[in-house]
Amino acid sequence: MPFSDYKTALVTGASSGIGAAVVERLRRENIEVHAVARSADALQRLAERTGCIAHAIDVTDRPALARLASDVEFDILVNNAGVDRPKKFLEAEEGDIDLLVDVNLRAVLHICRLIVPGMVARDRGHVINISSIAGNYNFGGNSTYHATKAGVAMLSNQLRLDSFGKRVRVTEICPGRVATDIFNHVHGNDPSVRERFIDGFELPQPSDIADAIAFAIAAPVAMNIGHMEITPTLQVMGGLQTAKPQSPYVPGGGPGGQAR
């Protein structure tokens, strides 16, 4: 659909990075953008810069989101909010698992529950779920994150099935490494973090992801761009590792292969 068919948008995780870039991009199309994030100060600066409507709401605050969804009919939904606590699952902590499931998956499910039925009833709407290459590929130390993003990928497919026959389009955006401050949020606000993840790399900018989202939204009504994987040209996924055993295998042995 051309942008002129859409009037309103909800963007979560909007205070910085990809979320803020999406707000800016949609505002350039004269969309009324409701920007949701926890940081009231950052949202206020974004509102002053772009003219968006700021809502300092945590995406896990279901009553607040329900009130917003009942007040506004949203044509575009961009589920962007997300967190990570990099850790091997063998070292996972209860609080980290709950946080990632609550923000990365449960919040997306509930926001879609609140908004997508209205899109179906109006025969108009576009859901953008920003997941990650972590939903499709494995790399060490992000086990719970992988699981939640895979859930978002499956939800994106299922939304198209459940809204079949209506002009509700669903696009899953799967970024690889992007030059945002998420790495500081995850690994600590230290210059070494930027050196490790950003400096010296040729990376897409948040505005590049926002432009890709705009491309999907502006596609003809008969066209749904269901899945976009966006990575740096100099980033690849995959690989093969084979480990040697740490101790010889002993049939019937106990821990470490020792015979009982």
The DSSP code for 142 is B
Query: What is the distance between the alpha carbons of residues 21 and 5, in angstroms, rounded to a whole number?
Result: 21
Q: Give yes or no: 249 in active site.
A: no
Residue 66 CA to residue 252 CA, distance in Å, equals 57
DSSP 219: S
DSSP string, 154-209: HHHHHHHHHTTTSSEEEEEEEE-S-SSTHHHHHH-S-HHHHHHHTTT-----HHHH
Which two three-digit tokens encode residue 174?
A: 């799967």
H or E element in which residue 10 lies: strand 8-12
**Cα separation, 114 vs 252, whole angstroms:** 55
State whether residue 225 is helix, strand or coil: coil
Q: Which of 6, 137, 145, 249 is catalytic?
A: 145
Catalogue the active-site residues: 145
